[in-house]
Amino acid sequence: MALKFFQPIFPGSGNHRIPEKGCKHLLDMLYHTGHHPPASRAPNDIDWYFIRNAKELQEAGIKFKKREGSLRLFDVVFLENGTIEIPCLKIYDTTESLFRNLVAYEQCSQCKHLCVTDYITLMDCLINTQEDVQILRHSGIIENGLGDDGMVCSLFNNLGKNVILSHRRYFCYNKVFDGVKEHCNRKRNVWMAKLKHDYFNSPWALLSFLAAVALLLFTLVQTVFTVMSYFQKD
């Protein structure tokens, strides 16, 4: 019954049994039911705790997708095709208070892996504006039970204030952050994303682009034939 309390935010938690030993607090149950992500390697750069928001990442060609088949809320992965998969988070009126309690518990504990704090750091990076929330909502990653994307934005922007971050060696999403940064540092990915955004975002834009390419090719062919005919006369 105790674990069922967490089910609205942590799917599948009600299906686990409470360990006989090791639980020091009600919130500690989540750490014994497999909801924490596996440890990852240390980051490659100095700004290890920062990635750009969802809109900027989308403009750089990164896609967002709801992670299917995982009962762990913190099970976030970055795929080689440039997709960030994040399990669905259902946000209700009680979500903020539950996350604040989990973060407070972590901050007072001696845990090396601050899973909830790291998750808040990730979501705080992705969400800066209502448009970022909208992107994640349309991707199925967020279910907004509050009704206002601005409230979701404020929720994550405020949860991370005055919170001690994980040691860079134990940050749960090092691999995800490194993958995102590596993708964004490749100029080709940014150019292709910009090309799709500017010219392939609607049928009319695509037709205009194709017409411009056809006109350019026609002009080039005409120039070639003009030059060839000039030299043949000589």
Residue located via tokens 């105790």: 2
Instruction: Tell me, yes or no, whether 223 lies in a domain.
Output: yes
Top-confidence range, 22-31, 32-41, 102-111, 170-179: 170-179
Whether 195 is covered by a domain: the verdict is: no
pLDDT of residue 31: 61
Across 50-78, average pLDDT? 89
Alpha-carbon distance 234 to 215, whole Å? Answer: 29
Residues 78 and 154 in one domain: yes
**Could you tell me the residue range of the domain that residue 116 belongs to?**
3-189
Please indicate, yes or no, whether residues 133 and 71 belong to a single structural domain of this protein: yes
Is residue 196 one of the residues assigned to a domain? no
C-alpha to C-alpha distance for 53 and 66, rounded to whole angstroms:
17
- pLDDT for 115 equals 86
0.85 exceeded by the pTM?
no
Regarding whether 137 and 97 lie in a shared domain, the answer is yes
**Residue 13 pLDDT exceeds 70:** no
Spatial separation of the C-alpha atoms in residues 119 and 33, rounded to whole Å: 17
- 2-41 burial string, b = 16+ CB within 10 Å, else e? ebeebeebbbbbeebeeeeeebeeebebbbbbebbbeebe
Give the model confidence (pLDDT) of 112-151 as tens digits: 778 889 999 999 999 999 999 999 999 999 999 998 999 9
**pLDDT confidence of residue 34:** 47
